[in-house]
Amino acid sequence: MTVHTRTALVIGGGVAGPVVATALRRAGVEATVYEAYDSAADGVGGGLSIAPNGQDALDAIGLGDVVREVGRPLAGTVLRSWKGAVLGEISVPPGLPELRFVWRAELSRGLRDAAAGHGVRTVYGKRLERIEQDGERVTAHFADGTSASADVLVGADGIRSTVRRLIDPAAPRPEYAGLLGFAAPVADTGMASTGRRLNISYGRRASCGYLVYDDSSGGWFMNLPHREPMTVAQARAVGTDQWLRTLREAVADDRSAAPELLRRTDPADLLITGPLETLSTVPTWSRGRVVLVGDAVHATSPSAGQGASLAFESAVQLARCLRDLPYAEAFVAYEGLRRERVERIIAAAARTNRNKANASARIVRDVLLPITMRIAMKMLRPGKMTWQFDHHIDWDAPVPGTVPVRAGGA
């Protein structure tokens, strides 16, 4: 086997970083992760779901057990009005594994531990500031004055990616979606089990997703409309007691499970996940020896339920390409394998978001909500979702040379 790439620097140890590093090691590339924070995951982020396609990608490199260990199975999603009425239900297509609900902090920690088990070294406190590259190497310069060099550099540094800006100063910036995210586990909901179904209630002022397990414990997340953008730090400075009061007021008139779940939430358990942001199409996926993966290059809105799953797919496909091709060809093949699919999912999520935004608008909420939700349900019919969920990666299949890139997607 010809070895094309021997070493890689992976910038970012969130979710995509440990996966791409593990996949690279399996591909024979020695990868080291450089994470800006001292401890990448602790307490960061709320709940998210891992779709069957994301589990398939992790299984391709032997990391699927991480999600099965930290995740709770989810057979589908029930959409409800603020009156509690069922508007529709989305189920995983038959023959595919159930979705898994995970707390992002647990997922990130599990992936980092598993990556370490595969020989991946993670170095903390390394905030990338600058990149230099020539015909031989790429060098990352960190804020603490240190640097590291390798054959290639993978930017897995999230939606506010520094690597993306460094390879294309004109790259799009994330845009605030007008919503702040919150989540919390609830030790005792006092409610009946939701039967492995995520319920999403489209409230009069805010939407709330929740799960109740068989032992009556559970968890919820909320997207609160908030005109002024706030950083996570600014939102956290407001304090959990104040936010919990605001969230309780936002759902006070809803005839859903949300008011009771929030009443039973301990302020100490409230996770303030910060502003929801969107990112439009990223024109430049790689430059020279540098390439992007995960939210850095394709951040879907949370309503897609696909952000982490697509990050896993891209991480594994990038590693296959670097295993089989010289880096320049590998980056072209990687983009060719990925761009159309991720942009199609991002576009589908944007359409669902517009329906949700309309559903939350005061003027339309009572009259138009059932209509907009029927339209959303048509778009989310199981048959229509299969192409997202049944994506399969054959790790052992050789990657053919250059696959044409279709910028702009479907």
Ligand X SMILES: Cc1cc2nc3c(=O)[nH]c(=O)nc-3n(C[C@H](O)[C@H](O)[C@H](O)COP(=O)(O)OP(=O)(O)OC[C@H]3O[C@@H](n4cnc5c(N)ncnc54)[C@H](O)[C@@H]3O)c2cc1C
- Residues lying near ligand X in the complex (CB under 6 A) are found at 11-17, 34-37, 40, 45-46, 48-49, 104, 126-128, 156-158, 162, 181, 273, 276, 294-296, 302, 305-309, 311
Residue 288 C-beta: closest distance to ligand X, Å: 18
CB nearer to ligand X: give 156 or 211: 156
**From the CB of 100, what's the least distance to ligand X, in Å?**
10
Residue, CB closest to ligand X: 14
State in angstroms the smallest separation of the CB of 251 from ligand X: 17
What minimum distance in Å lies between the beta carbon of 29 and ligand X? Answer: 18
Judged by beta carbon, residue 48 or residue 257, the one nearer ligand X is 48
**132: amino acid identity, one letter:** E
Closest to ligand X by CB, 293 or 325: 293
Task: Specify the residue, 40 or 393, whose C-beta has the smaller distance to ligand X.
Answer: 40
Tell me whether residue 177 or residue 325 sits nearer to ligand X (CB atom): 177
Least separation in angstroms between CB 214 and ligand X? 22
Question: Shortest approach of ligand X to residue 402 CB, angstroms?
Answer: 25
Closer residue to ligand X in complex, CB, 255/287: 287
Q: Which is nearer to ligand X, 79 or 296 (CB)?
A: 296
Query: Residue 356 Cβ, how far from ligand X at the closest point, in Å?
Result: 13
